[in-house]
Structure 1
Amino acid sequence: MITERDQLQPSYTNLIKERDQLQTSYNSIITERDQLQTNYNSIITERDQLQTSYNSIITERDQLQTSYNSIITERDQLQTSYNSIVTERDQLQTSYTNLIKERDQLRTKYTNLTTEKQLQFKIQQTAKEELQSRYNTMRNQMDLLQRERNGLQQKLNDIYTNNARGWLYFRSSFYYISAEKKNWDDSRQYCRERGADLVIINSREEQEFLANVVGSIKGIIAWIGLTDRHTEGRWKWVDGSALITGYWGDGEPNDTGEEDCVEFYPVNKKWNDRQCSATDQWICEKSAA
């Protein structure tokens, strides 16, 4: 009996060891299983989080798509408005073409829809400002033309009115040739009472005009607005300006007997100095402005 027990004892000890080893392996497997379960749970959790993130991204994508569609619609509306403005400004076709070229060049540099929207706004704003500028320019030109027209109409009315009163028009001035005779001072006074003065002859053309007009009246000799009564030999016009070019007759002026005033002989288109107290017809002049 003892012998058999002793024989079984090693087997029993081996079984115990094998059992312990199996128990250790079992425990290791259980630990590994628990770790795998934990990892599995972590992966499940991470998967759920990724699913949530994915869903959020899908939602955000849909919102972005909606915003994109809204921007596209708004851009199309702006394009329609732009085309309407272009249709209404035929007279600015050249400027419009330049703006379209600029818009196309800028479009190639920007693919972002927001940038394109800003570009459309800039093009429209530039077109509006240019249209406003052109409109203001045309308005100013129209106002200027209207003022010029009114001025010309006023001049025509003045010409008609003065012609009816015996005044003749020549190069922005009206001329009146008297029918009666007065001395130089009274002749000048007559002119001044009518907003004029004795004529000042500033050019060869004016001299010829007066010679032709006055010369048509037989035997006329007329006072003009030239005198040296303040300083002998220094001839001045009635506006105080000095004589530059004179059309004196032969030997004139000769100052025979204090001849300080000037009369005009249309027959020979010459001037003569004469006493201011003498009586002649006279020529008045006033501006047509």
Structure 2
Amino acid sequence: MMATVNRSQSSDTNTISHWDKKYANLIYEITKSRDELTHERDQLKMYSSNLAEEMEVLQSQYDTVAASRDKLQEELNRLNLNRTVLSPDKPCRQGWIQFNNKCYYLSAAKESKTWEESRKDCQEREADLVIITTKAELEFVKRSSSVTWIGLSRGEQQDEWKWVDGTNLEGEGFWEDGEPNNNGGIEDCVEVARFTAAWNDAPCNNTFSWVCEH
């Protein structure tokens, strides 16, 4: 009887030992997989951090190059405009540029004013904000700066536009697609952007460069 009990206990012990080893191996494999995943996660975090730093450096370099490009473009545009040959029978005043028998004053680079302030500056120069009547004149004006005020603003009626000389806008003008849209109900003055070469209504309190004409 005793021998039978011992054999049973021995069998139970072997079974437990077998399961202990099995679970121990399983725990080992799970722990190993966890450690490997943890290591891989840490490596990915480090890679992501390094990539973010590289992107910040590249963005900074891009911003610097873009700013330099814009500055050079404005300087080049101004130099090209200054190459315009003055007519001997109608010379423009010093600091003004002649184009198609008209004289234009271009505000200094990076100088900006509201629409009213821009017009006042022109009037103090015995002139007024530019009135654009041809595509050629539009192309000339839009080269002066990134965004430029012109002498067109909303009249008393919603769809009425008047030039600074009091005349109404004739025809369809040179509006950008979808403009004028009077976004927010406060866009009563008109500017020209270099990259669109078209008119856009904007809040009169915005500050842009400007072009005077006489």
TM-score by length of 1: 0.41
| 3-state SS of 1:205 partner | helix
Change (3 A) 1:153 1:251: closer
Query: Aligned residues: percent identity?
Result: 45
Shift of residue 203, structure 1, vs aligned partner? 1.1
Partner of 1:78: none
Equivalent residue number for residue 5 of structure 1: none
Q: Which residue of 2 aligns with 1:191?
A: 122
In the other structure, the counterpart of 1:169 is 98
Distance 2:105 2:179 in 1: 26
1:254 and 1:153 mapped to 2: Cα distance? 44
What does residue 269 of structure 1 align with? 197
1:203 to 112, 129, 134: 134
- Cα deviation, 1:75-116, whole Å, max 9, x if unaligned, reads xxxxxxxxxxxxxxxxxxxxxxxxxxxxxxxxxxxxxxxxxx
Given that 2:155 and 2:162 are in contact with CA atoms closer than 8 Å, whether structure 1 keeps it comes out as no
**Is the CA contact 2:147–2:208 (under 8 Å) kept in the aligned structure 1?**
yes
Report matched runs for 1:108-127 at 5 Å: none
AA aligned to 2:106 is I
Q: 1:234 is matched with which residue?
A: 160
RMSD between aligned residues: 1.6
Q: Which has the larger radius of gyration?
A: 1
The alignment of Structure 1 onto Structure 2 pairs a total of residues equal to: 124
**Shift, 1:233, TM fit:** 1.3
**Alignment CA distance shift 1:153-1:247 (3 Å):** closer
Q: What's the counterpart of residue 281 of structure 1?
A: 209
Residue 183 of structure 2 aligns to a residue whose secondary structure is coil
Q: How does 1:54-133 map to 2 (within 5 A)?
A: none
5+ long unaligned stretches in structure 2: 1-86
Q: Give 3-state SS (helix, strand or coil) of 1:189's partner.
A: helix
Paired with 1:228 and 1:153, the residues of 2 have a C-alpha distance of 38
Q: Once the 2 structures are TM-superposed, how far is the Cα of residue 261 of structure 1 from its aligned partner?
A: 0.3
Query: 1:243 and 1:201 mapped to 2: Cα distance?
Result: 10
Higher relative contact order (CA 8 A, sep 6+): 2
- Aligned partner of 2:112: which letter? K
Q: C-alpha displacement at 1:153, in angstroms?
A: 4.9
Q: Which amino acid aligns with 2:159?
A: G
Q: Which is helix-richer, 1 or 2?
A: 1
Q: Which amino acid aligns with 2:124?
A: E
Shift of 1:229: 4.2
Q: Deviations over 1:9-57 (max 9, x none)?
A: xxxxxxxxxxxxxxxxxxxxxxxxxxxxxxxxxxxxxxxxxxxxxxxxx
Match of 1:248 in 2: 175
Structure having the higher strand fraction is: 2
| CA distance in 2 between partners of 1:259 and 1:229 (Å) | 12
Structure 1: tracts of 5 or more residues without a match: 1-151
One-letter code aligned to 2:115: W
Q: Is the 8 A contact 2:107 2:209 kept in 1?
A: yes
Q: Is the aligned partner of 1:225 residue 2:156?
A: no
Structure 1 residues 185 and 273: CA distance shift in structure 2, 3 A: same
The answer for the alignment partner of 1:103 in structure 2 is: none
| Whole-angstrom CA distance in 2 between matches of 1:207 and 1:240 | 20
Inter-CA distance 209–153: structure 2 relative to 1 (3 Å threshold)? closer
Q: Is the 1:229–1:261 Cα contact (8 Å) retained in structure 2? A: no
Amino acid at match of 2:176: G
State the alpha-carbon separation in 2 of the partners of residues 267 and 186 from structure 1: 24
Flag the 1:200–1:271 CA change in 2: closer, same or farther, 3 A. Answer: same
